Structure 1
Amino acid sequence: MKSNVLKKPLSLCGVLLSLVVAGLAFAASDVDLQQSPEVSATAEGQINMPKQQEKMALNYVNQPPMIPHSIDGYQVTKNTNRCLQCHGVDTYRTTGAPRISPTHFMDSDGKVLGNVAPRRYFCLQCHVPQTDAAPIIGNNFQPMQGFGH
């Protein structure tokens, strides 16, 4: 009688190693922050993001401000950050854009740095383009009292 050949399952370490390698490959690539602001508002699943709009109200204390303009073609890589061309401490006065917050220059220990802290360098980790699109999944979220619409 033939015994069944046991198939060795992929170990947890193998799975984790695969995820780490995939993450490193993604992190090493240049991240292009392309959006689709020119799409039709009637295309299923897509929204029309205006090039510039009024700032939307925040919904809670310390909410990262939303981006009130298109970010089509913006790039944030380890070598360049397009956002800082307008919002940087050396440029905001001439562009009229809001200045990057002083908190973005602090490391995780609260030490003030001369440049944007690495953990705050990739703007879209916290800041998102604003839109009045309906939620993808229904919810009953209400802004904190005194905030929102």
Structure 2
Amino acid sequence: MKITSLTKRLIQCLAALALVVSGALWAADGVDLNQSPEVSGTPEGSVRMPKQQERMALNYVNQPPLIPHSVDGYQVSKNTNRCLQCHGVEHYRTTGAPRISPTHFMDAEGNVLSNVAPRRYFCLQCHVPQTDAAPIVENTFTPSKGFGN
């Protein structure tokens, strides 16, 4: 069966519609997609992000390290990346921040690049601020043997 460009476009539109509907259902379920993780008050259910804390243990092999500080107000866009001002190869020695991993300079084919690879540039897609907040959804996750607390 030959798939025409009209069929491809219809499939793309249906996929986009499914994403919109699932987002609307998620928001209707009481999840605020615009809520900042840093809350200044202490009402029940709020999360207080510490300004700086010790690094937490990882829970599994190759887990992206958690961020031990607030990232409120950090800008990460195609033109600027606030994270690299401390963690970049030019700055980590003077800031004392951990250096960005060499794996972040490799493209999808394994070629080493002179700058951070585009697929690794948006830090907050993998690295998240750490907190000791209760899980939103109960689960039975336990760290791999030798990891975690």
TM over 0.5: yes
TM-score, reference length from structure 2: 0.77
* 1:72-98 deviations in Å (ceiling 9; x for gaps): 110000000000000000000000000
Q: Whose helix proportion is higher, 1 or 2?
A: 2
Percent sequence identity over aligned pairs: 70
Aligned to 1:57: 57
How many positions carry a matched residue from both structures? Answer: 126
Are 1:109 and 2:109 an aligned pair? yes
- The verdict on how the C-alpha distance between 1:117 and 1:15 changes in structure 2, with shifts beyond 3 A counting, is same
TM-score, reference length from structure 1: 0.77
Question: 2:47 and 2:87 mapped to 1: Cα distance?
Answer: 26
Question: 1:145 and 1:17 mapped to 2: Cα distance?
Answer: 40
Does the CA contact (< 8 Å) of 1:37 and 1:51 recur in 2?
no
- The verdict on how the C-alpha distance between 1:99 and 1:16 changes in structure 2, with shifts beyond 3 A counting, is same
Does the CA contact (< 8 Å) of 1:35 and 1:71 recur in 2?
no
The CA RMSD measured in Å over matched residues stands at: 2.2
The more displaced of 71-80 and 43-52 is 43-52
Where does 1:114-129 land on structure 2 (aligned, <5 Å)? 114-129=114-129
- The verdict on how the C-alpha distance between 1:112 and 1:19 changes in structure 2, with shifts beyond 3 A counting, is farther
Aligned to 2:40: 39
Does the CA contact (< 8 Å) of 1:35 and 1:73 recur in 2?
no
Shift of 1:37: 3.1
Q: Which amino acid aligns with 1:106?
A: M
Shift of 1:44: 3.4
- The verdict on how the C-alpha distance between 1:107 and 1:54 changes in structure 2, with shifts beyond 3 A counting, is same
Find the structure with the greater CA-based Rg.
1
Aligned to 1:29: none
Stretches of structure 2 lacking an aligned partner (at least 5 in a row): 1-9, 20-34
* 1:45-79 deviations in Å (ceiling 9; x for gaps): 32000100011110011100000000011000000
Aligned to 1:80: 80
SS of equivalent to 1:132: coil
Where does 1:90-109 land on structure 2 (aligned, <5 Å)? 90-109=90-109
* 1:16-41 deviations in Å (ceiling 9; x for gaps): 46689xxxxxxxxxxxxx9453522x
